[in-house]
Structure 1
Amino acid sequence: MKRIYLSGPMTGLPDLNFAAFHAITTDLRAEGHTVTNPAEINPKGGTWTDCMRRDIAALMGCDTMATLPGWEHSKGARLEVLIAERLGMTVVNFHDLVTMGAITQPGI
């Protein structure tokens, strides 16, 4: 069982893209994975800095990161990916998990 951290764009998107984060979390958990979802860590948002501090702390408890579409355009997600890569964590595109049959795609 993987401990998966979700990383993707939030700032500037409707409802901070929470629907996509929650849909992916539901599917991954149904497969038996432990998922760390930033939308659950910061349900009411907050300042970018405060949210990133909480998110990065939570990332440290994971061994795998799954990136959501558009992550490369997000300042926060790029930082999370950089940290994960530098610490030797596995970083995979969410769609690669779908291709490998690990989960079903929730329509994103």
Structure 2
Amino acid sequence: MTIYIAGPMTGLPDLNFPAFHDASAELRAAGFKVVNPAEINPDHTMAWADCMRRDIKALMGCDCIVLLPGWMDSRGARLERHIAVQLGMQVFDLQDLLKTRRAA
């Protein structure tokens, strides 16, 4: 299963990249293939719309989306979740998915 990570970036220190990288490491350690927007768009100076175009393209190749804490406050993460839901993709909260994986 290939997972796309969505969460808040804009306005957060270091664009919240540490949270994205931590989530990627945990999910990969649990055996998932991960698409991390912080890896797709490492340039902090890129325009939001340019980043979203890349991110949405990457989302299309994934099986599900995992939401980081604070995703509701992120215009981009809300858009990514909306697209995933409309396409019938599974949507998970990061901690819930990791708990389920550990219990299995």
TM-score, normalisation: structure 2? 0.93
How far apart are the structure 2 equivalents of 1:100 and 1:49?
34
Structure 1 counterpart of 2:89: 89
After TM superposition, where is structure 1 displaced by more than 2 Å over at least 4 residues in a row?
none
1:38 counterpart residue number: 37
State whether residues 30 and 101 of structure 2, in contact with CA within 8 Å, keep that contact through their aligned partners in structure 1.
no
**CA RMSD of superposed structures (Å):** 1.3
Give secondary structure in 2 for the equivalent of 1:100. Answer: helix
Aligned pairs, number = 102
Q: Is 1:49 the equivalent of 2:49?
A: yes
- How far apart are residue 65 of structure 1 and its match? 0.4
* SS in structure 1 at match of 2:19: helix
SS of the residue aligned with 1:101? helix
In structure 2, the CA distance between the partners of 1:68 and 1:90, relative to structure 1 (3 Å rule), is same
> What residue in structure 2 maps to residue 106 of structure 1?
none
Percent identity of equivalent pairs: 59
Tell me the amino acid that sits aligned with residue 62 of structure 2: C
Which structure: greater helix fraction?
2
CA spacing shift, 1:87–1:102, aligned 2, 3 Å: farther
User: Is the alpha carbon distance of 1:69 and 1:54 closer, same or farther for their aligned partners in structure 2, counting shifts above 3 Å?
Assistant: same
